[in-house]
Structure 1
């Protein structure tokens, strides 16, 4: 970053300058430390954050008071926000007043300030000064991404494209040009690499893939493949990865993409090719394990598993090796070879006792013992699991059923202790809610959830600071300038295929900030998976997942006013409706499933038409949040009424349909809700019911206050 214009200097002046710098070094270090403490210490979230949520007129008085403060950081932030507010309300002269010389003190935001000033000049009709400010920005901060906007405004698109191809302003410019010239191959390549957020992104991938395959390099194919992969279009992704650079990851995705698109023979061929080309890699070990699982018979699976174990051991892929041993154990049991199964069991538990596979095996052994009413054996296996695999996904479930089994064995005090421990150790899990419910805490039951009317406190959520990115990005995010932060992050985030945990957390938070809830929540939830398999991620994530601000980010409340309105109309618990929407659509109003379910509450068009008839509603759109939630809450009320206000059955019916639920009620005993859930034969519905109720439990803990 160039702060001052260059000056010519003689050898004498250079020697003098060097001597002066050495003499002043201690002073400069001290001043630098003061500045660092001033700007990079923990920001005052408790005072600043509420103002970022208020509309400009409401926050103006407080910001104007801060703009006169002695604290330079508070003063600079207030002036910046006042300038932003003024510009948005067509008061460019006021904005210019707040921005005057601000870049001299608010150093992290200097380039942003110049960009804001140029916008104010332009809004004020002072085009010459706007041009001069853009030129100053390029001269002094030419390597900062804000320079991309300045270059475009100065009619220098080629330079902007060359220097900042991934900047959203550049991508949008190229996208606009493609509207008139859709066959401009360099522009198509740029959009394929950097325009994943564009609504018609897939169209450009198809144009490149089908019309210009001969003009694409392996690197181009890799970008196209990643785009398809991110959009979950696995068949074209596999085809593109097949023409990308031949790395272990790319070759693995050829096979996995073919497998996910039901091309089994193609997947087998790709996995075999990967194993042959890159035998000493983690990807080869995983591919070999998938080959074993695709084997047509248990006997044919065993030799493939033996190779997979060798590959996993050679590549030091302990998690895959553990998965291979678990697969071997199950295969030996399937073949009736108990001696080999016992040997494999011992090897897995002794060599990889802390793995996810070991946790699954311990749980399987505990369940088998409990079915035989061998309570001590079941308790021993669960005890081992909770001690050696406390962070496994299955641990809360094991802890809950341990309490159930202790009660059945007559140990009611031990049951209470087990469930209290579960709530303490796994406070965010579905099983934590079930334990609290069975301990008769005021958290609702399967049959009382819909009638709950919690008092909501929405002012308790402060943002979790970003864990990656530049100081400018951190400031924009803190100031609530989420769209500007998102734009800058698109330029800063270079490692999209294999991001660090810190980058992934930052990406998730920024996506949530601009309303990209589907991808944002995925990025945050995937950190749990990574933490179970990556020691570095586990270390990083350990403190993050204990921070309440992480959970507020993971469980946001978009469209709350609409949800509250129609929940009240249907006499439904609004947090329960929010929990269902979070699971159904991740709050995406125009999302559409592969079978046609649409919108926030994922209603099928035929079902929505039937509901509209019941409401005498002639005109509606499932992509309109108001209409969708109005219809969806009516149907959720309907499923509750059909099953005597039993939320468990209402949720199962909402997901799988009333016909399937009626069938299950005839086949399975529903007197014990916990056991009934375990018998649901549809894996999707089994997981769906638990996830919605887990969502509810987290919303309840985060956003409610005790009633007087």
Structure 2
């Protein structure tokens, strides 16, 4: 039926939030949504903490106009300058060019950090007035006076409409600026096969919706003339767009590094070309026998071979790569099982536990043993294996699940104190996990259970300021703090020169800036995939970043808040549950479509949308419009709740898999223990979907609800 896939709200999060909230005792269900919190929590400098302007920066222009006007006349100097800039751009956005010009007059002399941007706004204001001469004069002044600022690409773009030499200068000086990419695209309409222009778009236009067509044109017309370095840029573009088959071909022609050789092989594997992938992995291993990519290559190659042929490659990984030996030995045990060598397989698993106790493979073995014993009713042995996993493999993705079930099994054994300790351990060590929510419930917290979560309307404390970005220039950071998201994004395209291998700070900055312009899918990927870093120094940087409130704010944003609140109230749904489901379905992308044409924020199938529209007598709607999509999607979510007596677990599962599948599971498994029911869902996609939706719900609750945030602090 439905398939899985801003308002200006920045929120006070995590532990910093809790300092304000000691003593709050109002029940979650009785609290109104989105009260404003202390404005200093997300700011990193004393100067910014005292800024009245930054408290207004993310409000609607109409909502802040009077306060900005007052601040232009009084207060601290930097606030006056910031207020004048924001007031001017607000007036310009409403077509009030005269007021904008007056407000900007002489501002660049004092506000030198944004001086070129002040000229940019002044030139736009003259254009709005229709004063072509003054506009041209200002554009020329911008181009002449601030030659080092990438924003002059805007001046080059406008001036180049009458003098093509300016467009040449933009291409030569600022090829990565979005205006320059636009120039290249315009010129390509006249000369569709120009190699240099196609290369410029290939390197700097990855954000374009039709980006792949430029790569295709470049490869078809100039493939034989491209250098290895140019092929590498093309390969990276294909990889970013998840076109792994073409990416593999391009990486095969790029400079021969271990990383490029690995991606050439991996791309072929993902593309379903098993024989070609096998050969590419063999080449990788032969050329770079000691590279870390070859360790992964050996495991990947083994997965593509028959068991007897695969085992020697796993033995090689065990012998040559100690960090991956546990994984290789575990895979070897699985192959031995398939060959009927059960004793040897068991010996291999025992070797994993004794020789590589901290490995991911050891965690998997322990969890398998724990599940087997629990299924047999031996909760004591299950508890022991779960405990051992938590002690030996605390960083593995299975650790929060094991920790939660250690608590459940302790309860079944009558050991209530040990159960409490286990649940608290999950909340302390894995606070972001689905199992932290389940643990909080068993500790008696008012967080909503599957059968009670629907009607809750949790209080959430919001913020309207932003932190200093961890990477980028001072100009970039100022634009971002002022809520000038598009201008910050344009500048970041020039400053972000290390896209193939960004630092932790750069990757996080990229994710946050993408959020600002609504590129939410890639934004959340950039932020969440920081967890994949495996180099020790990067792991440490990531751990530090995770302790900062703005990391979680970026992972759990609140776009489209107004229609979510409106239709959640209308459908009597918990707005955080609706937000959580939208985050899982679409990553807040209004026009996203699945391979089966599920559309928009709540991934409504066209035929389902038509059925709902008839039910609610909606004559005109567009599934790509947030308001319409949420209106229809929340109706269906309420419908699935009503079908299952307001059991949100079953309602969410039905939203993903359909009511027929859920009815079948109820017949097979019953519903005595909801946690066991989730574990038994036979569709891996739906089980993951259920856990992720409620994990999202829990994170919105724990980060933004004062009472839950305070309880987390007390742990």
Please indicate the TM-score interval, normalised by the length of the shorter structure.
0.7 to 0.9
Q: Say if 1:624 and 1:70 are closer, same or farther in 2 by CA, change over 3 A.
A: closer
Relative to structure 1, the CA distance from residue 565 to residue 91 in structure 2 (aligned partners, 3 Å threshold; closer, same or farther) is closer
Alignment check: 8 A CA contact 1:456 1:703 kept? yes
Provide closer, same or farther for how the CA distance between residues 357 and 138 of structure 1 changes in structure 2, counting only shifts above 3 A.
Answer: farther
Match of 1:262 in 2: 272
Q: How far apart are the structure 2 equivalents of 1:69 and 1:342?
A: 77
Q: Does 1:208 align with 2:218?
A: yes
Residue 398 in structure 1 maps to residue 399 in structure 2: no
Cross-structure match for 2:192: 182
Aligned length in residues: 660
Instruction: Note the 1:458-537 alignment, pairs <5 A.
Output: 459-460=462-463, 462-530=465-533, 533-537=534-538
Of 366, 369, 374, which residue of structure 1 is paired with 2:370?
Answer: 366
| Higher mean displacement: 533-542 or 519-528 | 533-542
Q: Which moved more, 1:231-240 or 1:669-678?
A: 231-240
Alignment partner of 2:206 out of 192, 196, 203? 196
Q: Any residues of structure 2 matched to 1:647-686 within 5 Å, and which?
A: 647-686=648-687
Alpha-carbon distance in structure 2 between the residues aligned to 1:83 and 1:431: 49
Q: State the partner residue of 1:11.
A: none
**Per-residue CA distance 1:327-367 (angstroms, 9 max, x = gap):** 23444455565665566456545665444344333333433
Match of 1:77 in 2: 82
Deviation at 1:66, TM superposition (A): 3.3
Matched, 1:165 2:175: yes
Task: Report the alpha carbon displacement of residue 461 of structure 1 after superposing the two structures with TM.
Answer: 5.9
Aligned partner of 1:415 among 414, 419, 436: 419
Deviation at residue 158 of structure 1 after TM alignment: 0.8
1:609 aligns to 2:619 (yes or no): no
Farther off after superposition, 610-619 or 50-59: 610-619
Cα distance change of structure 1 residues 620 and 411 upon mapping to structure 2, 3 Å threshold: same
SS at match of 1:451: coil
Which residue in 1 is equivalent to 2:263?
A: 253
Whole-angstrom distance in 2 between the partners of 1:461 and 1:86: 21
Q: More deviation in 659-668 or 174-183?
A: 174-183
Aligned to 1:639: 640
Q: Is the 8 A contact 1:575 1:700 kept in 2?
A: yes
Is the contact made by 2:51 and 2:79 (CA closer than 8 Å) also made in structure 1? no
Q: Which residue among 318, 322, 341 is the counterpart of 1:309?
A: 318
Q: CA deviation at 1:628?
A: 1.8
Structure 2: how far apart are the matches of 1:40 and 1:112?
23
User: How far apart in 1 are the matches of 2:571 and 2:193?
Assistant: 52
Q: Which residue of structure 2 aligns with residue 151 of structure 1? A: 156
Q: Tell me the TM-score normalised to structure 1 length.
A: 0.87
Q: Aligned match of 1:231 in 241, 245, 258?
A: 241
Structure 1 residues not aligned, in runs of 5+ = 1-38
Q: What corresponds to 1:240 in structure 2? A: 250
Kindly report the root-mean-square deviation, in angstroms, between the aligned alpha carbons of the 2 structures. 2.7
1:616/1:80 CA distance change after superposition, 3 Å: closer
- 1:323 aligned residue: 327
- Aligned partners of 1:461 and 1:552 also within 8 Å: no
Q: Residues 615, 78 of structure 1: CA spacing in aligned structure 2 closer, same or farther, 3 A cutoff?
A: closer
CA offsets 1:22-58 (integer angstroms, 9 cap, x no match): xxxxxxxxxxxxxxxxx97662277444301222343
State the Cα distance separating 1:672 from its structure 2 match.
0.9
Offset at 1:128?
4.3
Structure 2 CA distance, aligned partners of 1:249 and 1:487?
30
2:655 is paired with a residue whose SS is helix
| Contact persistence 1:274–1:284 (CA under 8 A) | yes
Q: Does 1:86 align with 2:95?
A: no
TM-score, with length taken from structure 2: 0.86
Name the structure, 1 or 2, with higher relative contact order (CA <8 Å, separation 6+).
2
2:672 match: secondary structure: coil
Task: Please tell me whether the aligned partners of residues 640 and 655 of structure 2 are also in contact (alpha carbons under 8 angstroms).
Answer: yes
Q: CA deviation at 1:494?
A: 0.9
> What is the alpha-carbon distance in structure 2 between the residues aligned to residue 442 and residue 334 of structure 1?
48
Q: Check whether the contact 2:57–2:464 (CA below 8 A) recurs between aligned residues.
A: no
| The structure with more radius of gyration | 1
Q: Identify the residue that residue 18 of structure 1 maps to in structure 2.
A: none
Q: Does the residue aligned with 1:556 lie in a helix, a strand or coil?
A: coil
> d(CA) in 2 for partners of 1:704 and 1:574?
13
CA contact (8 A) 2:262 2:284 kept: yes
Alignment match, 2:28: none
Query: Going by fraction, where is helix more abundant, 1 or 2?
Result: 1
Residue 122 to residue 449, structure 1, CA distance change in 2 (3 Å): same
Return the match for 2:295 from 281, 285, 296. Answer: 285
CA 1:416/1:351 → structure 2, altered by over 3 Å: closer, same or farther? Answer: same
Cα drift, residue 93 of structure 1: 4.2
CA deviation string 1:59-85 (max 9, x = no partner)? 233334433456333233222222322
The equivalent residue for 1:116 is 121
